[in-house]
Amino acid sequence: MAKELTIMMLTWEFPPRIIGGISPHVYHLSKSLARNGIKIYVVTCDFPGAPQHEIIDGVEVFRINPYKNPSPDFATWVYLMNVNMQKEAAALVNSLGGKVDVFHAHDWLVADAGIGLKHVFRRPLLTTIHSTEIGRRNGIHFDYEKMIHETEAWLTYEAWRVICCSDYMVSHVRWAFGLPEDKLVMVPNGVNAEAYSKADRNDLNQFRGKFALPEEKIVLFVGRLVYEKGVHVLVNAIPKVLEKANAKFIIVGNGYMKEQLSSLVKNVGLAHKVLFTGFVDDETLRRLQKCADVSVVPSLFEPFGIVALEAMAAKSPLVASDTGGLSEIVEHDVTGVKVYANNPDSLAWGITKVLQDETYANQIRRNAYEKVREKYDWNKIAQQTKTVYEAVLDEYSKTTWT
Amino acid sequence: MMQVIIFSWEYPPRMVGQLADYVRELAIQLAKSNVKAYVVTYHDYLSGQYDEPEGVKTYRVTNPVRTHIGVLTWVLTLNQEVERAAANIYYSTDKQVSLIDVHDWHFITAAVTLKKALNIPYIYSVESLEEHRSHGANSPFNMGIKSIEWLGMYEAEKLIVKSEWMRNEVVRLFKVPLEKIWVISPKSVNWLKNVLEAYKSVAEGGTSAWLKN
């Protein structure tokens, strides 16, 4: 391709605005694409203190005012936010003389904007489906959920290709929206392994002392405290683990289950063994992951499981439930321990196994780190994504829209 | 030859209030006056293109998202189909769309994107306002609609209202400069003549003024 490939990414979150996994995903993907010679524009929602326009390692970021009035509910806010995102993105593309080759929308949160831009500029739309409403809610029960589900279906219908981050998500999305097989592409999510290779050991021992006694092993959970993340399963597994090992359970993250979980912990008399930290900054999080004697991902539903990759990159032995994307990331007894989802006994068994057998723990930690470097490297993921863009543009060049 | 796309959420056979009949009469009179008139409107199942015997070309779109929790979400997803239909008209007519005439707030957001993306100017024809429809209620839902009305007025080339009273209300509620608003009464003998003049002024001045930016 003689001309420079130009992509416009649409995402409702981009650092420093971080709500879930889409923000770091788009951040690393766009930076790695820029490094591979692709011109990238990111259009996202604003954040206090962040500039409206900036260039980060070759990525041009535009932050728009989403919708600041009170909104009846979250979904209505999303559709209203899309009005402004679409308006600003349209003006931007117009000012570039229409020189955008592909619009890339991340999740239903930017469905309206992506679909609109596709039609007004007649350029292909591509979407990455990170998660689905039917998966998040374990079924569609109310009109609110159905509306979001149908919006997701509409986005995948309008998209030229649908990227999912795991084989599990490919089949899940295919089932959820009845898509043809050749519309779906699997490109894994990545992890920035270099970020974990900083901070030295001595420093870490002192840091560790702030969270656990020297004789306590650290069992780490990182994630939103919501039902589908299965943190309640971990809490139920704690007494069984403590029968065999001395450990401190550190739970990082916030969510609607926080109160419920902490009172559960208090009622069984384990408050001194469990620490709820709430949100922590990136640096603290990375250090905790490096200190963790075992990292636990007990999700009931997990499209991908980025936190599992982070543990692997941090060389922390991993225990994960055998579900969704986690099933693909973890090879049992090789790169981690797989346990039954929603089963505290099985989870306790997995944690205890890692805590009691140091040779075994070291072996899975080494293998996991190698796997991360080989398969989940952002540069490789960017190259795979670029191949998808080129395939779409090749097909597009043969249509009546060109 | 002037080419005008009219956006209206009601159009015969779908009648909600008085707007449907008014818009149809307008479109027919435009077609008779050597204006190529397209109407983009909503119908739940009669979707597609239809050329009316009077010379009006209609495009009816339906909502791709069937389930909704309120009028706002319904309108906002429907707008994408309105936008798509208008973009299709634009590309199939060799990009010769003079202007869009948007009746009421429902399809404002599509018009705004089309203006930003393709430099098509639009007129916002105000039939009624949320402030009056909701009798001053100001819940987040009403606010959402008012914010769309505000956006529509801010981005419009001109506004057309049907009475002096409405002009004053628009100025009072939204602080729109008086000279941006034309009063064209449907009851006036010069109604069509005035509408045509307004269109002509926006199609010529509007586009070029906008392109200069």
pLDDT in tens, A342-362: 999 999 999 999 999 999 999
Q: Nearest chain A Cα to B147, which residue? A: A69
pTM: 0.90
- Place A201 in a pLDDT band, splitting at 50, 70 and 90: low
Q: What top-level class would CATH report for the domain A193-375?
A: alpha beta
- Place A304 in a pLDDT band, splitting at 50, 70 and 90: confident
- Place A199 in a pLDDT band, splitting at 50, 70 and 90: low
Q: Nearest chain B Cα to A82, which residue? A: B76
* CATH entry, A6-190+377-396, from 3.40.50.1820, 3.40.50.720, 3.40.50.2000, 3.40.50.620: 3.40.50.2000
Q: What is the pLDDT of residue A192?
A: 87
Q: What is the ipTM of this complex?
A: 0.95
Instruction: Give me the residue from A112, A120, A157 closest to B76, CB to CB.
Output: A112
Spatial distance between the Cα atoms of A86 and A292, rounded to a whole number of angstroms: 43
Instruction: Give me the residue from A90, A144, A157 closest to B117, CB to CB.
Output: A90
Percent of chain A with pLDDT over 70: 98
Q: Nearest chain B Cα to A75, which residue? A: B73
- Place A197 in a pLDDT band, splitting at 50, 70 and 90: confident
- Place B207 in a pLDDT band, splitting at 50, 70 and 90: very low
Spatial distance between the Cα atoms of B210 and B119, rounded to a whole number of angstroms: 7
Contact B147 A76 (CB under 8 A): no
Q: Nearest chain A Cα to B68, which residue? A: A147
Contact B77 A121 (CB under 8 A): no
Instruction: Give me the residue from B64, B73, B151 closest to A79, CB to CB.
Output: B73
Do the domains A6-190+377-396 and A193-375 sit in the same CATH topology, yes or no?
A: yes
Q: What is the pLDDT of residue A285?
A: 94
- Place A202 in a pLDDT band, splitting at 50, 70 and 90: low
Instruction: Give me the residue from B70, B80, B116 closest to A87, CB to CB.
Output: B116
Contact A76 B73 (CB under 8 A): yes
What's the mean pLDDT in B163-184?
97
Span A374-387, pLDDT tens digits: 899 999 999 999 99
Contact A154 B65 (CB under 8 A): yes
- Compute the count of residue pairs across chains A and B with CB atoms less than 8 Å apart: 102
Q: List chain A residues with CB under 8 Å of B69.
A: 73, 75-76, 143-144, 147
Task: Give me the sign of the Cα torsion angle A200, A205, A206, A208.
Answer: positive
The answer to whether the beta carbons of residues A135 and A166 sit under 8 Å apart is no
Q: What is the pLDDT of residue B213?
A: 33
Q: What is the pLDDT of residue A383?
A: 97
CATH architecture of B3-212: 3-Layer(aba) Sandwich (3.40)
Q: List chain A residues with CB under 8 Å of B109.
A: 83, 86-87
Examine the pLDDT at A1 and tell me if it is beyond 70: no
Examine the pLDDT at A2 and tell me if it is beyond 70: no
Q: What is the pLDDT of residue B206?
A: 52
* B13 part of contact set with chain A, CB < 8 Å: no
What's the mean pLDDT in B183-202?
96
Tokens of A235: 């809490």
- Give which of A304, A312, A378, A365 is closest to A334, Cα–Cα: A365
What's the mean pLDDT in A57-80?
97
Instruction: Give me the residue from B67, B72, B119 closest to A76, CB to CB.
Output: B72
* B68 part of contact set with chain A, CB < 8 Å: yes
Contact B114 A120 (CB under 8 A): yes
- Place B211 in a pLDDT band, splitting at 50, 70 and 90: very low
The answer to whether the beta carbons of residues A296 and A220 sit under 8 Å apart is yes
The answer to whether the beta carbons of residues A299 and A221 sit under 8 Å apart is no
Span B105-159, pLDDT tens digits: 999 999 999 999 999 999 999 999 999 999 989 999 999 999 999 999 999 999 9
- Place A120 in a pLDDT band, splitting at 50, 70 and 90: very high
Examine the pLDDT at B40 and tell me if it is beyond 60: yes
In a mutagenesis test of the A interface, which of B66, B69, B94, B148 is the best target, namely the one with the most A β-carbons within 10 Å? B69
Kindly report the average pLDDT of chain A as a whole number: 95
Q: List chain A residues with CB under 8 Å of B80.
A: 112, 115-116, 119
Residues 6+ away with beta carbon under 8 Å from A355: A217, A219, A241, A244, A245, A247, A293, A294, A361
Contact residues, B window 144-173, toward A, CB-based 8 Å cutoff? 144, 147-148, 151
Span B91-105, pLDDT tens digits: 999 999 999 999 999
**Torsion (CA) A164, A167, A170, A174 in degrees, nearest 10:** 180
Q: What residue spans define the domains of chain A?
A: 6-190+377-396, 193-375
